[in-house]
């Protein structure tokens, strides 16, 4: 029995001519070169999170930014967080270029996140320097 529902119009408007559906865009692109620290990302980030929460809580309860506890937390947490974020920026950069041949829009979107990651790493370094020098 023929299909009577609406069908696509063929090229140049020829009725009944089938049109090939565009190839679906994949959900992800395989990572060909994982970074060396990828497996350790959480192990680097978790201590920085705890030390940052400790320092912020101390400041919220009336301690100063220049107090030794805050400086100690910054000295220990900042390098861990900087290394973890640098690794993440490298992964996002590689992901962006892996997406370019597949879907240029997704690749460009990831390049903007790479720029955001670089800016945030710079802010982290400046904030750490301010805490340590006060």
- Using a 10 angstrom Cβ sphere, with 0-12 exposed, 13-18 middle and 19 or more buried, the burial of residue 36 is exposed
Q: What is the pTM of this model?
A: 0.74
> What DSSP element (H or E) covers 98?
helix 68-99
- Of 27-31, 42-46, 113-117, the poorest mean pLDDT is in 27-31
Q: Answer whether residue 44 shows pLDDT above 60.
A: yes
- Return the domain boundaries, the chain: 40-133
CB neighbours of residue 85 within 10 Å: 19
Q: What is the pLDDT of residue 5?
A: 59
Q: Please, are residues 93 and 15 in contact by the beta-carbon 8 Å criterion? A: no
Q: Using CA atoms of 112, 118, 124, 129 in order, give the dihedral in degrees to the nearest 10.
A: -140
DSSP 8-state class, residue 68? H
The pair of structure tokens assigned to 30 is: 């395989």
Q: What is the pLDDT of residue 8?
A: 58
The model's confidence at residue 14, banded by pLDDT at 50, 70 and 90, is low
Mean pLDDT of 33-40: 87
Q: What is the pLDDT of residue 125?
A: 93
């Amino acid at each position: 029995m023929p299909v009577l529902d609406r069908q696509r119009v063929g090229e140049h408007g020829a009725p009944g001519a089938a049109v090939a559906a565009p190839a679906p865009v994949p959900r992800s692109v395989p990572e060909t070169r994982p970074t060396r620290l990828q497996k350790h990302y959480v192990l680097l980030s978790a201590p920085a999170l705890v030390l940052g929460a400790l320092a912020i809580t101390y400041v919220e309860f009336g301690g100063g930014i220049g107090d030794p506890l805050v400086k100690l937390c910054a000295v220990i947490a900042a390098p861990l967080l900087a290394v973890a974020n640098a690794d993440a920026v490298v992964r996002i950069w590689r992901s962006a270029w892996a997406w370019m041949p597949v879907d240029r829009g997704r690749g460009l979107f990831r390049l903007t996140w790479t720029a955001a990651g670089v800016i945030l790493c710079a802010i982290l370094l400046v904030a750490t320097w301010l805490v340590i020098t006060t």
